[in-house]
Amino acid sequence: MSAKQKVGLHQGKPNIVICHTDRERLTKLAEAISDRSPDIAEELLVELDRAKVVKDGGLPGNIVRMGSSVKYRSDDGQERHVSLVYPGEADISLGKISILTPIGTALIGLSAGQSIDWIARDERSHHLTVITVEAPDPVRKGEA
């Protein structure tokens, strides 16, 4: 499936919200990988473009942002707990998933109770529902 076909799948996706800093950092990340991974970069940029951007410190703790811990239910009915991280911190065995994975890109900006359909790298369609979101430590402490 081409990136343009995937972009067409964004119609009807839930509203998402991100903070200014996450948008800025993720845009730079997408631009940095665009030559070697154009589909991944485009998918992330499309999500960032459709997001409502709020000032830093104005993002509620129940919205998935970089560093958030997320509990979600997948289309197979299983519940999973992951943390959304930058590529260098990713470790699937520890439940740390990169923003540059299809599920990572799907999760960014969602809040508890929202559902989204996403396409895996094997081009299979999946569905997930966010159950809970825990803000990253600095946000919980009111430092971000």
Q: Please name which of 26, 54, 57 lies closest in space to residue 42, comparing C-alpha atoms.
A: 26
Residue 144 lies inside a defined structural domain of this protein: no
Residue 141 pLDDT > 50, yes or no? no
At residue 144, the pLDDT reads: 44
pTM: 0.85
For the stretch 54-99, pLDDT in tens is 999 899 989 999 999 999 999 999 999 999 999 999 999 999 999 9
Q: What is the mean pLDDT of residues 112-137?
A: 93
Which residue segment(s) compose the domain that 11 sits in?
3-137
Residue 108 lies inside a defined structural domain of this protein: yes
Residue 142 lies inside a defined structural domain of this protein: no
CATH of residue 52: 3.10.50.30
Residue 138 pLDDT > 90, yes or no? no
Residue 114 lies inside a defined structural domain of this protein: yes
Beta strand 17-19 with 52-54: parallel, antiparallel or unpaired?
parallel
Domains: count for the chain = 1
